[in-house]
Amino acid sequence: MPDLDKPHLHQLTVGETFTNLGTRPGGLSPEEAQQRLSRYGPNVLKEPSHYSLIRGFLHQFTHFLAILLWIAAALAFTAEFMKPGEGMATLGWAIVGVIVINAVFAFFQEYKAERAVHALHRLLPARAWVLRSNQPHDVPRSEIVPGDVLVIEEGEQIPADARLIEAAEMRVDISSLTGESQPKRRTAEPVADGHLLDIPNLVFAGTPVLSGRGRAVVFATGMQTEFGKIARLSTSVETDLSPLQKEITKLTRIVAMISLAMGASFFAIGLWTGLGFWISTIFGIGIIAANVPEGLLPTVTLALALGSQRMAKRHALIKQLTSVETLGCTTVICTDKTGTLTENRMRVARFYVDHLEVEVRESCLVIAGRVTSAIEAEEYAPLFDAIIHCHNAKRVRRTDGRLTVTGDPTEVALVE
């Protein structure tokens, strides 16, 4: 079995790398691959706990304000049972209706956001080419094991962390790991120490190959990859109540204490004035139920939902409704720029030909203030023809079925 001593793999020669990882230039045999799959496990990221429909729906009925409303409804039904005909049952059913309608509405909003978030978790390729017994095999990503020899082509994504043994003009995009969009050159030559992600003879899972080709020996799979470490960190973050949730919980407790105090006071006043025990009890229950803010829950939910819908129109995904208020009081956001505030893609804004500036817009060109289509600009036909034919960019079909252009960022911008 391989040593998997990752910290010094970049310092080894190609031959020493094979020895260290217990493999050969022609790759593992199918039997060896199966043994290592049993030992190291599949090359997949551990999925975060899936959104439970039942748990998510029940949560809408069990937060602090909802519990207070349930208590108010129960008190109203109790008062109706003790003295029918006073209209307390109507109040009880109205409170129950508020709870149910609010729960369904809030659950639907958060469920839609949860589905959208899960649709974003598709960065690793579904299959990859490896050498097995000196023959190329197209295998599922999950079956790649340490010691496998990857066959890497331009436009593909690296399926696991690996040490390059061959590299021809290879450049990769590691912005998903570092946030730096500049393509990184890769080589198979041994190098001295450096920051792990900057070492030129290592490639990492989830990073696309912009240009060139090569072969590499896998040394880490699944959650042991650098991509897996990021996934582990992102799923281990503990969530806290939002400022709005804290304030509503505080308000609910205050209202509950005031309601109980007023109910007890009016119960005592009723007994003191000679109303009798049961009438005083009903009177106190009515005071408690009347002090519960039935309209607070739907009002807050509706306001947050409207904010969420407005942000959705601007392509901002709100996973939890309470996050809307948190974002509203945010003064500073610390975030990686690449792929968040920017698209991590270049676009042609203008070009210069024969001392003339030409502005490129979405569907037309602006030449000296004159708007024209690219087809009508015949004087630039040789330039466009050169762009179309002189590049190494490729059109590839993504796992979601859509076509995209991959390769050197400058060439991708020209082709698109």
| Pairwise CA distance, residues 142 & 221, whole Å | 9
Neighbours of 239 (CB within 10 A): 6
CATH of residue 160: 2.70.150.10
Residue 106 resides in a domain = yes
Any residues with CB less than 8 A from the CB of 113 and at least 6 apart, and which? 308, 317, 318, 319, 320
pLDDT tops 50 at residue 39: yes
| Pairwise CA distance, residues 60 & 3, whole Å | 50
Domain containing 220: what range?
Answer: 6-45+124-233
pLDDT tops 80 at residue 161: yes
Q: Confidence class of residue 121 from pLDDT cuts 50, 70 and 90?
A: low
Residue 339 resides in a domain = no
Average pLDDT value over all residues in the chain: 76
Residue 206 resides in a domain = yes
Residue 223 resides in a domain = yes
pLDDT above 70 covers what percent of the chain? 73
pLDDT tops 50 at residue 298: yes
Work out how many domains the chain is built from and give that number: 3
Residue 338 resides in a domain = no
Q: Which of 9-18, 21-30, 43-52, 208-217 has the lowest average pLDDT?
A: 43-52
Answering whether pTM is above 0.75, one says no
pLDDT tops 80 at residue 119: no
- Is the same domain home to 18 and 155? yes
Cα Rg for the chain, rounded, in angstroms? 32
Residue 261 resides in a domain = yes
- End position of a domain, from candidates 186, 215, 233: 233
| Pairwise CA distance, residues 110 & 98, whole Å | 18
- Is the same domain home to 228 and 139? yes
Per-residue pLDDT of 300-327, as tens digits, reads 777 777 777 777 677 666 666 667 777 7
Q: Which of 160, 162, 184 has the alpha carbon at shortest distance from 172?
A: 184
pLDDT tops 50 at residue 4: no
Residue 343 resides in a domain = no
pLDDT tops 70 at residue 128: yes
Per-residue pLDDT of 63-114, as tens digits, reads 777 777 788 788 778 777 777 776 677 777 887 887 888 777 777 766 766 6
The yes-or-no answer on residue 336 being catalytic is yes
Instruction: Return the exposure string of 375-404: e unless at least 16 CB atoms fall within 10 Å of the residue's CB, then b.
Output: eebeebeeeeeeeeeebebbebeeeeeeee
CATH of residue 251: 1.20.1110.10
Q: What token pair was written down for 115? A: 């589905």
**Which entry of 3, 336, 354, 408 is annotated as an active-site residue?**
336
| Pairwise CA distance, residues 70 & 92, whole Å | 9
Residue range 254-273: average pLDDT?
A: 82
